[in-house]
Amino acid sequence: MYLHDFYSRFTLDESLAEVTGFNPYYLSIESGLEDKLMVNGARLINLASNNYLGLAADDRVKKAAVEAVQKYGASLCGTPIATGYIDLYKRLEGKLSAFVGLEETMILPSCYQANNGLFSAIAGAQDLIIVDRYVHSSLIQGIKAAGCKIRPFLHNNLEHLEGILQRSTGYRQIFVVTESVFSTEGSVAPFQEIVQLCQKYNALPVIDDSHGIGVLGKSGRGILEEKGIEGYQGIYTASLGKAIAASGGMISGKSALIKHLKYYCPHLVYSTALIPAALAGIEAVLDIIDTEFGLLKKRLTSYQQIIYESLLEGGFSVVQAKTPINSIKSGSKENTFIITKKLFEKGILTTPFIEPAVPQGEGRVRLIAGANLSEDTIAEAAAVLKEMGRL
Amino acid sequence: MTLEQRVIKTLKDNLEKSPEISLESRLLEDLLVDSLDRMMLLSGLEDEFSITIAEEDFAEVATVSDIVRKLKARLSD
Ligand SMILES: Cc1ncc(COP(=O)(O)O)c(C=O)c1O
C-alpha cells in the first residue's frame, strides 16, 4: 500500500496515560490567563503557566496589542530583513538592549529558534562548546547543529567546568553555555563565577535567561543584574514568552556580532517577523516592569513561599527554591503523572516533567504562582496542597 | 591504579551524584546514562587516557567492562 511503511513508523506510546488514566498534554484551554483558567469546561487554579509577573492578560498589555493590530494589522507578512521590520520592531530592539544592559539586540519568532540558530552562525568544526548538562533542548539542538566538539559539564559544577577548560587547548574559540534559571526545578547558575572562568581561559560565555528576564535582579532585568555582572562580553538569549508575557526570543550582545547575525542567521533572516501585537505587548510589559516591578516581585515571592510551605506541610518532597519555581520531586514518570492528575482533580493545574526533559527517575511537578493570582486563589491552592499529602 | 580503577573513577567523576559503579554496571539500565552523559563520559576518558575517541567507536558499549575492553584494545594499538 502507498507509503504504508513510512506512516507505520509513527505510533505514539500512550501506555503511561493509559496506566495512570491521565494525559496532561495538549489539554484544551478555553480562556486566557485570568485568575482561574478554563480547562475542559472546568475552572482551575493555574500554577502551570510561565506568566511570572501575571501580565499576559493585563488590561494595559491587551490595549497596547490591540492598538498595534489596529495600526499595523495582524502581520507584516515579511521577514525582518524584508518588509517585517516596522518602526515598533526597531524601537523594541533598542528598549530590550537597554533593559538588559547590552549593546544590541535582535528579535526572533521564539527563543527556541534563537537558540537553534545562534550556534551554527558563530561556531564551527574548529571550536569547542562546553555546556551545562541540564540545559534546555533548544540549546542542545542548536549546539549539535554547529558541528563542533561538544563537552557537557556537570550541572552548575564550577570545578568540573574549570577542569574541562584547563584541559581544552587547540580550539579556535571555546564557548561556555548555560541557563540562568533551570526551569524544571529553579536552580540558578553561578554565572558570575562562570564569567570569571571564561575570562581566565579566554572562553566566550553564552547565557539563556528565559526564566530570569523579568524575574531576577532588583529591577527585573534578569541574571546580569542579579549577579552584578557589568560590561558583559558574552552572548545573551531569552524568551519573551514567560515573564515578558508575549512571544519571541531575543539575542543580545556586542554590536558587531548582532549586526552580523542580522544578515547571517538564517533563523532570523528567512522567518516571518514577530507580529505587531506581540511587539507592542512586549513594549507595554517593559514599561510596567519599569514602574511596578517591586510590587509584582514581592507578590510573586510571597506566593512562592506560601506554596512551598504548603507542599512541605502536605508531605511532598520539594526542591529548595531560590526562584518563583516550586518543584515536587516526584520520582518515576508514573508517579509524576499521578501527582499531576490528583492535583488536576482537586482543581490545580501544574506541569509534569518526565524523561527526556529530566534524567530518568527524577520526575518533577512544577508549580508557578503568577503575580496575577488573587490572594484568595493562593489560599485555596495552599489548602488543597496541605490536604493532599494526608490523603 | 589499574586501568579498571581508572575507568571507574573517571565515570564516577563525570556523572551527576557520583553513583556506585562496578565493572558489571550497565550504562543505560544501572547508571541511567543518556546521550549527554555519554558525551561527558567519553570526553572524560579522552582526558584521563590522553587519547581521542570517536563516538561511533563506542556506540555499542553497554557495560563498564565493555569500555575497559575497548580501551585496552585502543591503548595496545
Ligand atoms: C530555558 C529555555 N530556553 C528557551 C526556551 C524556548 O523559548 P520559546 O518558548 O520562546 O521558544 C524555553 C522554554 O520555552 C526555556 O525554558
Domains and CATH numbers, chain A: 9-57+292-388 (3.90.1150.10), 75-274 (3.40.640.10)
Residue A65 has pLDDT above 90, yes or no: yes
A-chain residues near B32 (CB < 8 A): 359-361
Residue A164 has pLDDT above 80, yes or no: yes
pLDDT number for residue A104? 98
pLDDT number for residue A61? 98
* Chain mean position to CA A33: 17
Ligand 1 in reach of A225 Cβ (< 6 A): no
Is A152 in contact with B37 (Cβ distance < 8 A)?
yes
Ligand 1 in reach of A249 Cβ (< 6 A): yes
CA of B1 to the centre of ligand 1 (A): 45
Residue nearest (by alpha carbon) to ligand 1 atom 8: A111
pLDDT number for residue B56? 87
Rounded distance between C-alpha atoms, residue B20 and residue B22, angstroms: 7
- Mean of per-residue pLDDT scores for chain B: 91
Taking only the tens place, the pLDDT of each residue in A240-266 is 999 999 999 999 999 999 999 999 999
pLDDT number for residue B55? 85
Residue A391 has pLDDT above 60, yes or no: no
Rounded distance between C-alpha atoms, residue A102 and residue A108, angstroms: 17
Ligand 1 in reach of A336 Cβ (< 6 A): no
pLDDT number for residue A390? 59
Q: Give mean pLDDT, residues A33-62.
A: 95
Is A359 in contact with B47 (Cβ distance < 8 A)?
no
Coil vs helix vs strand at A92: helix
pLDDT number for residue A291? 97
Pairing relationship of beta strands A325-331 and A249-253 according to DSSP bridges: unpaired
Q: Which of A152, A163, A360 sits opposite B32 (nearest CB)?
A: A360
Is A151 in contact with B14 (Cβ distance < 8 A)?
no
List, for chain B, all residue ranges whose pLDDT scores fall below the cut of 50: none
Pairing relationship of beta strands A249-253 and A235-239 according to DSSP bridges: antiparallel
Marked catalytic residue, from B13, B30, B34, B66? B34
Ordered strands of the A325-331 beta sheet: A325-331, A363-368, A351-353
Which residues are registered as beta bridge partners of A207? A178, A236
ipTM of the complex: 0.92
pLDDT number for residue B75? 85
CA distances from residue A266 to A85, A143, A171, A270, B76 in whole angstroms, order as listed: 16, 15, 25, 5, 46
Q: Which of B36, B37, B47 sits opposite A167 (nearest CB)?
A: B47
Contacts 24+ apart (CB under 8 A), B66-74: B67/B7, B67/B11, B68/B3, B68/B4, B68/B7, B68/B23, B71/B3, B71/B7, B71/B45, B72/B3
CA of A143 to the centre of ligand 1 (A): 15
**Lowest mean pLDDT segment, chosen from A95-99, A180-184, A230-234, A259-263:** A180-184
Ligand 1 in reach of A239 Cβ (< 6 A): yes
Taking only the tens place, the pLDDT of each residue in A175-229 is 999 999 998 889 999 999 999 999 999 999 999 999 999 999 999 999 999 999 9
Provide the percentage of residues in chain A whose pLDDT is more than 70: 99
Q: How many CB atoms lie within 10 A of CB A319?
A: 18
Provide the percentage of residues in chain A whose pLDDT is more than 90: 94
Cell numbers describing residue A170? 587547540
- Mean of per-residue pLDDT scores for chain A: 96
pLDDT number for residue A361? 87
Q: What is the pTM of this model?
A: 0.95
Taking only the tens place, the pLDDT of each residue in A344-384 is 999 999 999 998 888 888 999 999 999 999 999 999 999 99
Respond yes or no: is residue B66 known to be catalytic. no
pLDDT number for residue A359? 84
CA of A118 to the centre of ligand 1 (A): 14
Residue A279 is given by DSSP the state: H
Secondary structure string (H, E, C) spanning A316-356: CCECCCCCCEEEEEEECHHHHHHHHHHHHHCCEECEEECCC
* Chain mean position to CA A56: 15
pLDDT category, A307, cuts 50, 70, 90?
A: very high
Instruction: Determine the CATH number of domain B3-14+26-76.
Output: 1.10.1200.10
* Chain mean position to CA A299: 20
Question: Residues of B at the A interface (Cβ-Cβ below 8 Å)?
Answer: 13-16, 32, 34, 36-37, 39-40, 43, 47
Domain map (residue ranges) of chain B: 3-14+26-76
Taking only the tens place, the pLDDT of each residue in A263-301 is 999 999 999 999 999 999 999 999 999 999 999 999 999
A144 in contact with B, Cβ within 8 Å: no
